[in-house]
């Protein structure tokens, strides 16, 4: 490792009195860097350890609003991940309660662009690889089911068809009547008439028949199935297409449980919302009429989702209330009643925030120049969250959890065509080829991205991408070179120190964890000693009034109390052993939850005996009013833009 | 056999380190269903960053940038048009869009991606025709994105 010597960079500490001075110093340093043509900056983040998520620490690299990092997934892969920089700080520093160190490296515009593109390409390439793996698995499952059905001379297998559940019953549904009645959906009847006007009266039935013929051969071209990786996608495109066009021809109404029409007065529409929804519905209708003739992959799923939304939008206009689809995915994460019971105190605040988000999303609709689907998704997502949380708060029901935008998917299992027009041996040959391709893809991915504690982890992969991009130019471009895994730099904290010491770092910053931030504020208000005493135990802490769901059992927070850490660690160990014993007794009632927390508590107390504090406690939720702005935690984030 | 005290300390440190490392997995785990499902705050992962939400304009720009980068990466690889469209559907869905074809931003983003990949005008015409399936509006939007792109 080499690197030119330079004066120590200013160290920015948020919440400190010298923040303004530090920023001014940074500006002065940055001016000097700019004079050298180093007009951009990359941030290297090292994140303190905590139990659960990562007890060895973590690392990330930040390009302004984007943060790239590599996570260890449950398939044993090092997963390239890209996150919004503000969300990254909120997840790690606030909810996971982990402090960070940021080292800012001055670079040229060219280096910045090359590295950012390299990390992004790595992320996209791996996303593509994982999607291909998933496609091959779907191919295998479909072909296996079809081969088995042909061997048994049975009826076609049940296949999950994307979005079909908005209009059609699932095979397991005890009330299979399509749409629940013989009446037509006025919205779909209008769309059907429009398609007939624009494309001819026979268009829908002819296209549906053509798709059904194609389906009978498994989507084969000239008797051959598509290559592995696109067999199921193509088959499902046609299957969903047949169902979508059939639903459109019959103008089926939405199924009763597929949408939400709350009676609450707050869901009544304002005039400007009505106007936006009317415009969006008209635009959507026009685009669906075009989509009905599309050949692009995924067209049929988009068509069904659009048809379902069109019905909900028209219903909104008719009833003058917000009507939305049930947009949760088919298999969301679910919090069971026990988990809801433990976190019930958080629900009122969550409902308030969800309502706030819904109000914001609705208010933004009339401001848009032209309606966009993404804007409706924001409203639909926020409304779904409000209704889901309110139901859990009122009845203690299980809660479906799905972060990020919800795009309605509601699949339904339907009996598949057994592809009678395709020879059995061709089907078997396609299955064998798919199995071979799947094995090869899995082996390849494992070889290229299999996790290794020392050889391939969150640190080595960052510096591998840097090394592959810059090669020997790194010394010039970054002021030095950090070879992947060299010396002990595969350990996040060691890599952070190496970056500070040997690369062209122009500013450094310590980002506090959320608990540390709150402790400092409380100490200022209540005095240092009373705050430390009160906040040092899980029973008396006002910052952490309840253990995080992911936390092990412990009594004392030891991260800020290095001098007495072994003593407190011994107390934590004893308490955790006691909890484990009690956990055995209550295991039949709590399903072993206390026992597991106790055992983990003992494990993470042991390092405290040797002055090492891994466990910091975490937060399930921090109300918006208490949540620090990411730029407050990390002023360099604001300076990055 | 005797050891220098400094050497002994280093050996002890190394042994301690190896023991510690054998029990402590470095790097964050991807939030799996096992860990995240019990946390109620996970409902809000996308809006938990601050006290304010991103605006529709911010979201539109973020989508365009993602389409641009996805297109850039596609042009540099050797994948088929079908793969491109399937992958594009995934990019759009992350931004709450199920019908990417009807969103003008998609086509402008594709144009920017082609410009970023520095395809020449002849290649641009081929891409425009193939990706837009000769739809004149889509081709115009691709051209608009291509002309407007300026490297960051």
Q: What is the pLDDT of residues A334-367, one digit of tens each?
A: 888 888 888 888 899 999 999 999 999 999 998 8
Q: Is residue B21 part of a domain?
A: no
Q: What is the pLDDT of residues A146-169, one digit of tens each?
A: 888 887 777 778 899 999 999 999
Minimum distance, in Å, between the CA of residue A495 and any CA atom of chain B: 12
With tokens 């860097």, the residue in question is A33
Q: What is the pLDDT of residues B66-84, one digit of tens each?
A: 999 999 999 988 666 678 8
Give the Cα separation of A38 and A478 in Å (integer). Answer: 10
Give yes or no for a contact between A360 and B53, defined as CB atoms under 8 angstroms apart. yes
Is the pLDDT confidence value at A15 over 70?
no
CB within 8 Å: B26 and A290: no
Q: A53 contacts in B (CB within 8 Å)?
A: 28-29, 35
Q: Is residue B32 part of a domain?
A: no
Minimum distance, in Å, between the CA of residue A633 and any CA atom of chain B: 11
* Minimum-distance CB partner of B29 among A53, A302, A404: A53
Name the pLDDT band for A401 (thresholds 50, 70, 90). Answer: confident
A39 and A114 within one domain: yes
Q: CA nearest B98 in A: which residue?
A: A302
Termini Cα distance of chain B: 63
Give the Cα separation of B87 and B76 in Å (integer). Answer: 15
Q: B43 contacts in A (CB within 8 Å)?
A: 350, 354, 385, 388-389, 399, 401-403
With tokens 């498994």, the residue in question is A218
Record the tokens describing residue A469, joined without a space: 């991009």
Predicted local confidence at residue A4, as pLDDT = 40
Give the Cα separation of A221 and A206 in Å (integer). Answer: 19
Give the Cα separation of B110 and B138 in Å (integer). Answer: 10
DSSP element (H, E) containing A78 = strand A78-84
Q: Is residue A553 part of a domain?
A: yes
Which of A638, A617, A582, A577 has the alpha carbon at shortest distance from A94? A617
Predicted local confidence at residue A417, as pLDDT = 73
Termini Cα distance of chain A: 30
Q: Is residue B73 part of a domain?
A: yes
pTM: 0.87
Q: What is the pLDDT of residues A248-293, one digit of tens each?
A: 999 999 999 999 999 889 999 999 999 999 999 999 999 999 999 9
Name the pLDDT band for A5 (thresholds 50, 70, 90). Answer: very low
Q: Is residue A152 part of a domain?
A: no
With tokens 């398939």, the residue in question is A75
Predicted local confidence at residue A7, as pLDDT = 47
A214 and A86 within one domain: no
% residues pLDDT > 90 (chain B): 47
Collapsing DSSP to helix, strand or coil, A333 comes out as strand
Burial call A117-141: b when 16+ CB within 10 Å, e when fewer: bbbbbbbbebbbbbebbebbebbbe
Q: How far is residue A587 from each of residues A335, A581, A591, A593, measured CA to CA in Å?
A: 19, 10, 5, 7
Record the tokens describing residue A426, joined without a space: 């061709």
Is the pLDDT confidence value at A426 over 90?
no
Lowest mean pLDDT among A5-19, A71-85, A495-509, A571-585: A5-19
Collapsing DSSP to helix, strand or coil, A260 comes out as strand
Give the Cα separation of B115 and B142 in Å (integer). Answer: 10
Q: Is residue A432 part of a domain?
A: no
Predicted local confidence at residue A487, as pLDDT = 83
Predicted local confidence at residue A335, as pLDDT = 87
CB atoms within 10 A of CB A531: 20
Q: Is residue B13 part of a domain?
A: no
What does residue A234 show for φ and ψ, rounded to 5 degrees?
-70, -40
A455 and A536 within one domain: no
Number of H helices and E strands in chain B, helices first, is 7, 0
Q: Is residue A220 part of a domain?
A: yes
Q: What ranges in chain B are assigned the alpha helix state H? A: 5-23, 33-36, 56-76, 81-94, 104-116, 121-131, 136-148
CB within 8 Å: B60 and A302: no
Say which DSSP state A77 is in: B
Is the pLDDT confidence value at A9 over 70?
no
CB atoms within 10 A of CB A11: 16
Mutual angle of helices A109-151 and A458-470, in 10-degree steps: 120
**What is the number of domains present in chain A?**
3
% residues pLDDT > 90 (chain A): 62
The predicted model gives A598-624 an average pLDDT of: 90
Q: Is residue A153 part of a domain?
A: no
A506 and A536 within one domain: no
Residues in CB range of A453: below 8 A, 6 or more apart: A490, B21, B25, B26
Q: B28 contacts in A (CB within 8 Å)?
A: 47, 53-54, 58, 69, 71-72, 458
**What is the number of domains present in chain B?**
1
Burial category of A321 from C-beta neighbours within 10 Å (exposed 0-12, middle 13-18, buried 19 and up): middle
Name the pLDDT band for A3 (thresholds 50, 70, 90). Answer: very low
Interface contact B97, partner A, CB < 8 A: yes
Q: Is residue A166 part of a domain?
A: yes
A180 and A33 within one domain: no
Q: Is residue B22 part of a domain?
A: no
- The mean predicted confidence, pLDDT, of chain A is 88
Give yes or no for a contact between A240 and A161, defined as CB atoms under 8 angstroms apart. yes
The predicted model gives A373-402 an average pLDDT of: 92
Minimum distance, in Å, between the CA of residue B122 and any CA atom of chain A: 24
The predicted model gives A13-17 an average pLDDT of: 45
Is the pLDDT confidence value at B14 over 70?
no
* Minimum-distance CB partner of A335 among B37, B63, B70: B37
The predicted model gives B137-147 an average pLDDT of: 96
Predicted local confidence at residue B44, as pLDDT = 60
A121 and A207 within one domain: no
CB within 8 Å: B28 and A71: yes
Give the Cα separation of A369 and A55 in Å (integer). Answer: 48
Of residues B3 and A445, the one with the higher pLDDT is A445
A176 and A123 within one domain: no
Predicted local confidence at residue A369, as pLDDT = 79
With tokens 């918006």, the residue in question is A624
CB within 8 Å: B46 and A87: yes
Q: How far is residue A42 from each of residues A16, A82, A463, measured CA to CA in Å?
A: 23, 15, 13
Interface contact B10, partner A, CB < 8 A: no
Name the pLDDT band for B106 (thresholds 50, 70, 90). Answer: very high
A536 and A506 within one domain: no
Residues in CB range of A156: below 8 A, 6 or more apart: A146, A149, A415, A416, A417, A418
Lowest mean pLDDT among A81-85, A124-128, A468-472, B5-9: B5-9
Predicted local confidence at residue B35, as pLDDT = 42
Name the pLDDT band for A368 (thresholds 50, 70, 90). Answer: confident
Best interface-test mutation with A: which of B19, B42, B99, B107 has the largest number of A CBs within 10 A? B99
CB within 8 Å: B48 and A294: no
Residues in CB range of A618: below 8 A, 6 or more apart: A50, A52, A95, A96, A97, A548, A550, A551
Collapsing DSSP to helix, strand or coil, A44 comes out as strand
Parent domain of B102: 56-148
Interface contact A490, partner B, CB < 8 A: yes
Q: What is the pLDDT of residues A181-232, one digit of tens each?
A: 568 999 999 999 999 999 999 999 999 999 998 888 877 776 778 889 989 9
Minimum distance, in Å, between the CA of residue A607 and any CA atom of chain B: 9
What does residue A243 show for φ and ψ, rounded to 5 degrees?
-65, -40
Q: CA nearest B60 in A: which residue?
A: A374
* Minimum-distance CB partner of A334 among B25, B30, B37: B37
Q: A301 contacts in B (CB within 8 Å)?
A: 98
Residue A485 CA to its chain's centroid (Å): 29
Of residues A439 and A452, the one with the higher pLDDT is A439
Q: A368 contacts in B (CB within 8 Å)?
A: 56
Interface contact A100, partner B, CB < 8 A: no
A308 and A189 within one domain: yes
C-alpha dihedral, A566 to A567 to A569 to A574, nearest 10°: 140
Q: How far is residue A484 from each of residues A164, A454, A501, B104, measured CA to CA in Å?
A: 48, 10, 16, 42
The predicted model gives A35-61 an average pLDDT of: 85
CB within 8 Å: A72 and B42: no
Collapsing DSSP to helix, strand or coil, A158 comes out as strand
For residue A61, is it left (φ>0), alpha (ψ between -120 and 50) or beta?
beta
Interface contact B107, partner A, CB < 8 A: no
A225 and A181 within one domain: yes
Best interface-test mutation with B: which of A93, A296, A338 has the largest number of B CBs within 10 A? A296
Give the Cα separation of A96 and A633 in Å (integer). Answer: 14
* Minimum-distance CB partner of B96 among A301, A374, A457: A374
Q: Is residue B36 part of a domain?
A: no
Minimum distance, in Å, between the CA of residue B32 and any CA atom of chain A: 7
Minimum distance, in Å, between the CA of residue A154 and any CA atom of chain B: 32
Give the Cα separation of A346 and A343 in Å (integer). Answer: 6
Predicted local confidence at residue A469, as pLDDT = 95
Is the pLDDT confidence value at A14 over 60?
no
Give the Cα separation of B66 and A538 in Å (integer). Answer: 43
A311 and A192 within one domain: yes
Interface contact A552, partner B, CB < 8 A: no
Of residues A42 and B21, the one with the higher pLDDT is A42
Predicted local confidence at residue A641, as pLDDT = 57
Say which DSSP state A182 is in: S
Q: Is residue A519 part of a domain?
A: no
Q: Is residue B76 part of a domain?
A: yes
Is the pLDDT confidence value at B30 over 70?
no
Which of A100, A107, A105, A112 has the alpha carbon at shortest distance from A634? A100
Predicted local confidence at residue A153, as pLDDT = 72
Record the tokens describing residue A629, joined without a space: 């702005």
Q: Which of residues 57-86 of B touch A (CB under 8 A)?
A: 59-60, 63, 69-70, 72-73, 76-77, 79, 82-83, 85-86
Which of A37, A72, A39 has the alpha carbon at shortest distance from A54? A72
What does residue A583 show for φ and ψ, rounded to 5 degrees?
-60, -35
Q: Is residue A631 part of a domain?
A: no
A54 and A18 within one domain: yes
Q: Is residue B23 part of a domain?
A: no
For residue A343, is it left (φ>0), alpha (ψ between -120 and 50) or beta?
alpha
CB within 8 Å: B49 and A630: yes
Parent domain of A269: 158-327+408-417
Is the pLDDT confidence value at B15 over 50?
no
What does residue B54 show for φ and ψ, rounded to 5 degrees?
-75, 155
Q: B102 contacts in A (CB within 8 Å)?
A: 283, 287, 290-291, 373
Predicted local confidence at residue A18, as pLDDT = 43
Record the tokens describing residue A350, joined without a space: 């969550």
- The mean predicted confidence, pLDDT, of chain B is 77
The predicted model gives B20-38 an average pLDDT of: 52
CB within 8 Å: A630 and B48: no
């Amino acid at each position: 490792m080499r690197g030119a010597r330079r004066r120590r960079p200013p160290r920015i500490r948020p919440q400190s009195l010298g923040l303004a001075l530090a920023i001014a110093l940074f500006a002065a340093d940055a001016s000097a860097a700019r004079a050298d043509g180093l007009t951009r900056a990359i941030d290297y983040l090292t994140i303190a350890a905590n139990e659960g998520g990562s007890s060895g620490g973590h690392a990330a690299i930040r390009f302004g609003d984007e943060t790239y990092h590599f996570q260890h997934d449950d398939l044993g892969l090092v997963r390239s991940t890209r996150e919004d920089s503000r969300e990254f700080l909120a997840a790690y520093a606030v909810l996971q309660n982990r402090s960070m160190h940021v080292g800012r490296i001055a670079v040229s515009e060219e280096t910045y662009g090359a590295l950012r593109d390299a990390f992004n390409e790595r992320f996209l390439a791996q996303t593509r690889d994982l999607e291909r793996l998933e496609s091959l698995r779907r191919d295998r499952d479909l072909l296996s089911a079809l081969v088995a059905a042909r061997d048994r001379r049975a009826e076609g297998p049940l296949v999950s068809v994307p979005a079909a559940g908005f209009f059609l019953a699932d095979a397991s549904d005890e009330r299979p009547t399509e749409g629940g009645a013989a009446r037509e959906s006025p919205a779909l009847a209008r769309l059907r008439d429009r398609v007939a006007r624009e494309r001819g009266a026979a268009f829908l039935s002819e296209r549906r028949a053509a798709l059904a013929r194609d389906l009978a051969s498994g989507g084969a071209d000239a008797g051959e199935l598509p290559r592995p990786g696109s067999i199921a996608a193509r088959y499902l495109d046609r299957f969903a297409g047949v169902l979508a066009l059939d639903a459109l021809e019959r103008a089926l109404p939405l199924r009763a449980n597929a949408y939400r029409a709350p009676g609450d007065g707050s869901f009544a529409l304002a005039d400007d919302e009505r106007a936006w929804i009317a415009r969006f519905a008209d635009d959507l209708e026009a685009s669906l009429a075009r989509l009905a003739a599309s050949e692009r992959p995924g067209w049929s799923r988009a068509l069904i989702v659009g048809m379902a939304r069109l019905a909900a939008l028209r219903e909104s206009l008719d009833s003058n209330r917000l009507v939305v689809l049930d947009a949760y995915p088919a298999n969301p994460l679910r919090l069971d009643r026990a988990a809801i019971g433990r976190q019930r105190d958080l629900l009122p605040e969550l409902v308030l925030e969800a309502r706030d988000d819904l109000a914001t999303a609705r208010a933004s609709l009339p401001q848009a120049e032209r309606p966009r689907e993404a804007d409706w998704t924001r409203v639909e997502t926020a409304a779904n969250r409000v209704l889901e949380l309110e139901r859990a708060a009122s009845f203690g029901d299980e809660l479906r959890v799905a972060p990020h935008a919800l795009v309605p998917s509601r699949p339904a299992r339907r009996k598949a065509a057994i592809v009678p027009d395709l020879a059995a041996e061709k089907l078997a040959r396609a299955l064998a080829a798919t199995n071979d391709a799947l094995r090869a893809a899995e082996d390849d991915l494992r070889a290229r991205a299999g996790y290794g504690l020392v050889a391939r982890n969150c640190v080595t992969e960052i510096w591998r991408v840097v090394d592959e991009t810059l090669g020997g130019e790194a010394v010039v471009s970054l002021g030095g070179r950090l070879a992947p895994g060299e010396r002990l730099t595969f350990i996040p904290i060691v890599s952070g120190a190496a970056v500070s010491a040997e690369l062209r770092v122009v500013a450094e910053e310590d980002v506090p964890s959320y608990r540390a931030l709150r402790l400092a504020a409380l100490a200022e208000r209540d005095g240092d000693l009373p705050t430390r005493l009160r906040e040092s135990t899980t029973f008396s802490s006002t910052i952490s009034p309840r253990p995080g769901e992911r936390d092990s059992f412990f009594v004392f927070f030891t991260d800020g109390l290095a001098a007495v850490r072994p003593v407190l660690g011994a107390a934590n160990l004893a308490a955790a052993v006691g909890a484990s014993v009690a956990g055995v007794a209550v295991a039949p009632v709590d399903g072993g939850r206390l026992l597991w927390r106790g055992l983990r508590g003992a494990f993470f107390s042991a390092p405290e005996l040797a002055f090492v504090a891994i466990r910091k406690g975490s937060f399930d939720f921090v109300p918006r009013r208490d949540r620090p702005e990411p730029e407050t935690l990390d002023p360099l984030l604001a300076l990055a833009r | 056999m005797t050891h220098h005290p400094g050497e002994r300390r280093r050996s002890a440190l190394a042994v301690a380190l190896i023991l510690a490392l054998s029990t402590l997995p470095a790097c964050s785990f991807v939030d799996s269903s096992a860990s995240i499902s019990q946390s109620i705050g996970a409902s809000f992962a996308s809006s938990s960053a601050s006290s304010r939400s991103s605006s529709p304009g911010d979201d539109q720009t973020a989508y365009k940038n993602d389409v641009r980068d996805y297109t850039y990466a596609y042009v540099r690889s050797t994948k088929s048009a079908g793969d491109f469209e399937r992958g594009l559907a995934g990019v759009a869905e992350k931004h709450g869009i199920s019908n990417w074809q009807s969103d003008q931003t998609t086509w402008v983003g594709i144009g920017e991606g082609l410009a970023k990949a520095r395809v020449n005008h002849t290649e641009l015409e081929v891409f425009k025709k193939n990706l837009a399936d000769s739809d004149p509006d889509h081709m115009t939007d691709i051209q608009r994105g291509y002309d407007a792109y300026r490297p960051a």
